[in-house]
Amino acid sequence: MAAAFAKTSMFGAAVRMPSPTTTTTSSRSPFRVRMALQDSGPSIAVVGVTGAVGQEFLSVLHDRDFPYRSIKMLASKRSAGQSLSFQGRRYTVEELTADSFDGVDIALFSAGGSISKKFGPLAVEKGTVVVDNSSAFRMEEGVPLVVPEVNPEAMEGIKAGKGKGALIANPNCSTIICLMAATPLHRHAKVKRMVVSTYQAASGAGAAAMRELEQQTHEVLAGKPVTCEIFNRQYAFNLFSHNSAVLPNGYNEEEMKLVKETRKIWNDKDVKVTATCIRVPVMRAHAESVNLEFENPLDEDTARDILKKAPGVVVIDDHAANNFPTPLEVSNKDDVAVGRIRRDVSQEGNYGLDIFVCGDQIRKGAALNAVQIAELLL
C-alpha cells in the first residue's frame, strides 16, 4: 500500500504518501459537503484504489465527509484480495470487471488511459457517472473537462443516481494548477497569451517514481550507482524535459495537454498558450512559472487582490522577506499557492503579469478536483 512510505524522513513532509486518514482539507472551498456514510448517499466506486491517486481519493473522500451509502474498492487482478481500511471499516479490493459497476452511481477512475477507455463506457452504460483522471476522454467532444472553481457550468444537468450515466474528465494536473491561478485574472482582463514553464514532481509519474527518487537520493549520497527503472536516467539531484513523448511539432504530450485543455476549459479557441514542461526532483507538488498577456489592463496590486479572494487559492507574496510559494509548503494541502506577482516589464503598460504557482499534484492536481466534481453531482 502506498501509505507504507510515510515512515521516510529524508524529504520531510513532502515524502508522505497518500493515506485515507490524512486530514488537510481547506475550509475555503465552496464545494465542501459535511456528511459521510448514510443510506441516502450515492453508491461509489474507486478504480485504481491501490495507486497513489486512488489512495488520495480515499483521503479526500474522508476529509470532506463525502456522503455515500456504499463504496467499492476496485483494482487490477494483481491487487485484488488486498485489505484496505476506510473510515473504520475493512474493505477487500475487488478485481475490476465489466460487472463491477452494477448499482454504482459515481465511479472515480485513476487506473490509466487504457483502463478508462475499456471500462469507462461500460460503466456509463450501467448508469454510472464516471469521473476520469486519465487523458482518455479529455479532448472528446461532448465530454466535460472540469475544474469546479473554473467551469462548473460545463457539467450542468449531470447528476448522480438518476440512472443516466455520463463521462466527466479531470484535467491534467499541470493544467488544473495553472488555471486555478490564471482564471480569476482571465475573468477580469481576458488573457490573450499565456506562457507556462512547469517544474513537475515525481508524483506525476506515480508511486513507483516517488520510490525511485527516494532510492536514487540514498544511492547518490552513498556514492553508489543509481537505479534507473522509471525514467532511464538519474532523477535525484537532476532535472530533465518531461518524460512524455515528443510530438512532430517538437512539443511533448504534457505541453500540448496544457495548450489544448486550457482552450477547452476556458471555451476560447483563440487564446494563445505555449508551455515547457520539466521534471524536477520534488516528491509531490508541481511549480509553474506563468506569464500572462491581457487584452485589458491589470496592475499587480489589483491582481493580488483578485487572487486573495479566489476560492482554492492562497497568496504567498512577501517581497520584503523574499518569501514565495514552494512545493514543500503546498504538499498535502488543498489550496494552490500563488506569488511572485509582478508586472511584465517587457510589455508596455499594465497588459502583462508574471506569477509563480505551486500546487499538490496528487491532491488538487488529481484527487481533490475529482471529488469536487463528484460533489457537484449530488
Torsion angle (degrees, nearest 10) of CA 338, 300, 275, 309: 40
Residue 157 burial (CB count, 10 A): 8
**Among 326, 316, 235, 327, which residue's Cα sits nearest to residue 285?**
327
C-alpha cell at 367: 484527487
Q: Which of 62, 186, 242, 286 is catalytic?
A: 286
Question: Is 173 a residue of the active site?
Answer: yes
Q: What is the C-alpha separation between 296 and 306, in angstroms, rounded? A: 15
The active-site residue, picked from 173, 178, 277, 358, is 173
76 alpha carbon, distance to own chain's centre = 22
Cα–Cα nearest to 256, from 266, 245, 267, 265: 245
Cβ proximity of 138 and 120 under 8 Å: no
Distance spanning both ends of the chain, measured CA to CA: 30
DSSP annotation of 253 reads: H
Contacts of 214 (CB under 8 A, 6+ apart): 5, 8, 10, 11, 15, 283
Count of other CB atoms within 10 angstroms of residue 230 = 18
- What span, in angstroms and rounded, lies between the C-alpha atoms of 23 and 65? 11
Nearest to 319, CA basis, from 291, 339, 304: 339
178 is known as an active-site residue: no
Residues labelled catalytic: 173, 286
